Amino acid sequence: MAVFARPRQALVIAGALGLALGATACGTGSSTSSGNNTNADSAECAPYEKYQGHDGKKVSIYSSIRDIEADRLDESWKQFEECTGIEINHEGSGEFEAQLPVRVDGGNAPDLAFIPQPGLIQRFAERDQIKAAGAETKAMAEENYPADWLTYSTVNGTFYGAPLGSNVKSFVWYSPKMFQEKGWAVPTTWDEMIKLSDTIADSGTKPWCAGIESGEATGWPATDWIEDLMLRTQTPEVYDQWTKHEIPFNDPRVAEALDRAGTILKNEKYVNGGFGGVRSIATTSFQEAGVPITAGKCALHRQASFYANQWPQGTRVAEDGDVFAFYFPAIDPAKGKPVLGGGEFVTAFSDRPEVQAVQTYLASGEHANSRAKIGDWVSANNKLDLANVANPIDKLSVELLQDDSSVFRFDGSDLMPAAVGNGTFWKGMVEWINGRDTATVLQGIESSWPK
Amino acid sequence: MNFDFAAQAPKLMMLLWGLVAFAVVVGGLLILLDVVPAFFARRREAQLVAASAGGGVPLPRRTKPREGLFALFFLLPTVLLLMIGLVVPAIRTTLLSFMDGGSQNWVGLDNYRWMFAEDAIVRVLINTLVWVTLVPLVATGMGLLYAVLVDKARLESLAKSLIFMPMAISFVGAAIIWRFVYAYRGEGQEQIGLLNQIVVSLGGEPRQWLLDSPLNTLLLIVIMVWIQAGFAMVVLSAAIKSIPADIVEAARLDGVTPWQMFRQITVPSIRPAMIVVVVTISIATLKVFDIVRTTTNGNYDTSVIANEMYNQAFRYGQNGQGSALAVFLFILVLPIVIFQIRNLRQQRREG
């Protein structure tokens, strides 16, 4: 060994160099501490007074929000950061659902997470891995959000965090231009919608476009169909029993909803505009699924409000534009307007005062309006001023959320345990589209419900 | 997209730190490895010199214990890392497999019972069985055939590198390439998938290849064979080349046909290499995850154990069921590993 005199020298040099570099890296790394608390007493900062006193503290947030949406979030709490001196580090991940439990189990939990699945909140709560929301957060949430929204993040009587953004799923996208040219009217009841579908099908065009491919999450768009139809063929009470597994998953009432969805999704006459037969739904990505509308290859596409961001560049989303959406009609309008939606909840994994301050602030009207002004955002926060919502679809969504006649229910698959809601329900829908019969699919999902 | 160095500064800094840490730790270890034995050697030398010079002074006791301590110093990190990275997780996984989804209550053998009772999981087990029987056989067979055919042919190295190239592609990369091969576009549209384009130009209708079981599993197996055949070919080709020339010549003089040459000379001579190839591919196949995940995500009855294990443990929050699948996979790999070790020992004894 001792013969390698030269490499040894090299190693010594490398080691010394490493230490030197390390020292300089250390010097630059910690020079970011901010001194921007100068305007804390200005008028702009008045609304943030109650969150002050945590200058220089850091709060980490983990969520599934990425890219431009994440930039907008960062911008939305900029004022808050400047006035309170709290530094918010937001990290978005495409693998959020799978990675969050791994990080939490591994002792590397973020301070706050925006969890879009009440089922996941429940799982963390049952394992004592999340912190109950503080009294101030709770008061703020109770003041600003409808009571039923708060129940989604409440487990065994403990409240874990307020909602943040929301989306409305009960929309059918269409092209106002095409409708006008062909003389079609926007349907307001289920029967009108079916009649319109038949008219379009008779004219030689496939009326509906659909696609449920979404990588790991393939199948979720079909679960939205089923949930929307559970709300339309059954009462909201039955819907609640279904999501809580108080009725079995293969209950005849669920089968009825599935079969009703099948009258559109599994109808070769109706689907799948521009893509192929019924089974092409399984392999069409949800992002691309509605796009044939812009080429006139289909007329209708049921998808949530956030689909507004999926249209090709240059497509004008407006009531008189290239594309727009109408409310997915109820079967029996006398029972009110069922609205299916989703949203994320701000849950905490640590209860330091600055974390609670951020959690409270995110539940406030200030944040909701600050975020809405930047664009493309919907929230059930009742302090949200409709004037701050520019996008017409978002406006429609907020109106539906604030409409007294709507019967709002949260996305069912997100309420169910992950094994079903993120697993067999998605997979079951894929098999169902691929040709498996309703009874077998429902039986399979039922048997996978965790005991 | 432009790469903004300023925006990426924290990540680059992290990268730099990683490199620094690596240099310090590995460099430090290497220096230690170099300096300490040299120190011991020099000291013993000095003692020997002193002993021979002093004449009457007895030879010093050999400093074995301290050198043993030094050996232990290097063994310890390895043992420690093995414990942290392999032994402890293996024991923990086994324990978790006897607990419920939240890892809180003991449930006995329920998870294993579930594995064999649930139709969907039985399907997964059957698929894995199909994979592990077909891939090693087909890949080794094709590799062998190719190695024999191409042996001593013109442009041999070029022909070999063509087959070997898929080995250089990651499983995910390969799966993405083949997903395009199997891609589907509706009738009347421009086909972007090679397979469907061939079908269409022959006058057929485009098909959704990955939707029909069991055809889809076989099509996924093709991907694995495509990757592994090159590996088999390279190893077997080397083995063929090392068959002693005099044996081949003797057989030629005895007037064997090519088939007899293959059956009675080539195959018996390269048997050890073939076993290594089959065993290696079998283990790789049992663990296959990336190909299934990337192409079908386990939908349409194509899931395999590793994919299902990941889903259960990390996506569905069913730690118990995921762990049970992991343990089962471990048990399946075990006999192959034991066979391989015994085989290696036997060869060493014979050698």
Nearest by CB: B102 against A4, A127, A275: A127
Q: Closest residue of B to A440, CA-based? A: B119
Quote the radius of gyration of chain B (alpha carbons, Å).
28
Nearest by CB: A423 against B102, B104, B316: B316
Note whether B70 contacts A: Cβ–Cβ < 8 A: no
The per-residue pLDDT for range B188-243, each reduced to its tens digit, is 788 889 999 999 999 988 999 999 988 999 999 999 999 999 999 999 999 999 99
Identity at A224, one-letter amino acid code: D
ipTM value: 0.79
Note whether B334 contacts A: Cβ–Cβ < 8 A: no
Nearest by CB: A18 against B23, B120, B298: B23
User: Between β-strands A158-159 and A163-168, what pairing exists: parallel, antiparallel or unpaired?
Assistant: unpaired
Note whether B213 contacts A: Cβ–Cβ < 8 A: no
Q: How far is A140 from chain B (nearest CA, A)?
A: 32
List the single range of A291-295, A425-429, B327-331, B346-350 with lowest mean pLDDT. B346-350
Euclidean distance between CA atoms A363 and A73, whole angstroms: 14
pLDDT of B60 above 60: no
Q: How far is A298 from chain B (nearest CA, A)?
A: 14
Identity at A15, one-letter amino acid code: G
Mean pLDDT value of segment B324-341: 92
Helix (H, G, I), strand (E, B) or coil at A65: coil
CA nearest A86: which of A350, A348, A345, A352?
A352
Nearest by CB: A1 against B23, B34, B184: B34
Please answer yes or no on whether A11 and B38 come within 8 Å at the CB atom.
no
* Greater model confidence, A14 or B322: B322
Is residue B61 very low, low, confident or very high in pLDDT (cuts 50, 70, 90)?
Answer: low
Residues of A in contact with B312 (CB under 8 A): 419
Neighbours of A90 (CB within 10 A): 18
Please answer yes or no on whether A15 and B38 come within 8 Å at the CB atom.
no
Nearest by CB: A422 against B20, B118, B315: B315
Q: Which of B12, B84, B300 to mutate to test the interface with A (most CBs of A within 10 A)?
A: B300
Euclidean distance between CA atoms A227 and A407, whole angstroms: 13
Is residue B47 very low, low, confident or very high in pLDDT (cuts 50, 70, 90)?
Answer: confident
Please answer yes or no on whether A8 and B35 come within 8 Å at the CB atom.
yes
Please answer yes or no on whether B186 and A275 come within 8 Å at the CB atom.
yes
Phi and psi for A350 in degrees, rounded to 5? -145, 155
CA nearest A270: which of A317, A352, A200?
A200
Note whether B34 contacts A: Cβ–Cβ < 8 A: yes
Q: How far is B334 from chain A (nearest CA, A)?
A: 28
Q: How far is A250 from chain B (nearest CA, A)?
A: 16
Q: Closest residue of A to B212, CA-based? A: A434
**Residue A35's pLDDT is what?**
42
* Greater model confidence, B167 or B33: B167
Note whether B312 contacts A: Cβ–Cβ < 8 A: yes
Chain A / chain B CB contacts < 8 angstroms: 116
The per-residue pLDDT for range B132-175, each reduced to its tens digit, is 999 999 999 999 999 999 888 888 889 999 999 999 899 999 99
DSSP string, A240-279: HHHHTTSS-TT-HHHHHHHHHHHHHHT-TTT--TTT-STT
Please answer yes or no on whether B210 and A283 come within 8 Å at the CB atom.
yes
**Residue B187's pLDDT is what?**
80
Residues of A in contact with B104 (CB under 8 A): 127
Q: Which of B209, B311, B321 to mutate to test the interface with A (most CBs of A within 10 A)?
A: B311
Q: Closest residue of A to B191, CA-based? A: A275
Euclidean distance between CA atoms B312 and B326, whole angstroms: 10
Please answer yes or no on whether B37 and A431 come within 8 Å at the CB atom.
no
Nearest by CB: B297 against A29, A215, A448: A215
Q: What angle do CA B107, B113, B116 make, to 5 degrees?
A: 155
Q: Which of A434, A436, A445, A446 to mutate to test the interface with B (most CBs of B within 10 A)?
A: A434
Nearest by CB: A276 against B38, B102, B186: B186
**Residue A412's pLDDT is what?**
94
Nearest by CB: A274 against B13, B120, B186: B186
Please answer yes or no on whether B118 and A447 come within 8 Å at the CB atom.
yes
Neighbours of A382 (CB within 10 A): 15
Q: CA B330 from chain center: how many Å?
A: 14
Helical residues (DSSP H) of A67-189, grouped into ranges:
67-76, 78-84, 96-105, 118-126, 135-144, 147-152, 176-182
Tell the residue number behind the tokens 């909201």, with chain if given.
Answer: A236
Please answer yes or no on whether A276 and B299 come within 8 Å at the CB atom.
no
Tell the residue number behind the tokens 């497999």, with chain if given.
Answer: B97
Quote the radius of gyration of chain A (alpha carbons, Å).
25
The per-residue pLDDT for range A228-280, each reduced to its tens digit, is 999 999 999 999 999 999 999 999 999 999 999 999 999 999 998 889 899 99
Please answer yes or no on whether A123 and B317 come within 8 Å at the CB atom.
yes
Q: Render the burial of A106-139: b for 16+ CB within 10 Å, e for the rest.
A: eeebbbbbbbbbbbbbbbbbeeeebbbbbebbbe
Q: How far is A30 from chain B (nearest CA, A)?
A: 11
Q: Closest residue of A to B186, CA-based? A: A276
Q: How far is B274 from chain A (nearest CA, A)?
A: 37
* Greater model confidence, B42 or A10: B42
Which run of H or of E encompasses A158? strand A158-159
Q: Which two tokens stand for residue A200?
A: 């379009």
List the single range of A177-191, B52-66, B276-290, B302-316 with lowest mean pLDDT. B52-66
pLDDT < 70 stretches in chain A: 1-41
Please answer yes or no on whether A218 and B16 come within 8 Å at the CB atom.
no
Is residue B37 very low, low, confident or very high in pLDDT (cuts 50, 70, 90)?
Answer: confident
Please answer yes or no on whether B315 and A11 come within 8 Å at the CB atom.
no
CA atoms within 13 A on the CB side of A99: 13
Nearest by CB: B23 against A1, A14, A422: A14
Q: Which of B1, B4, B30 to mutate to test the interface with A (most CBs of A within 10 A)?
A: B30
Residues of A in contact with B28 (CB under 8 A): 15
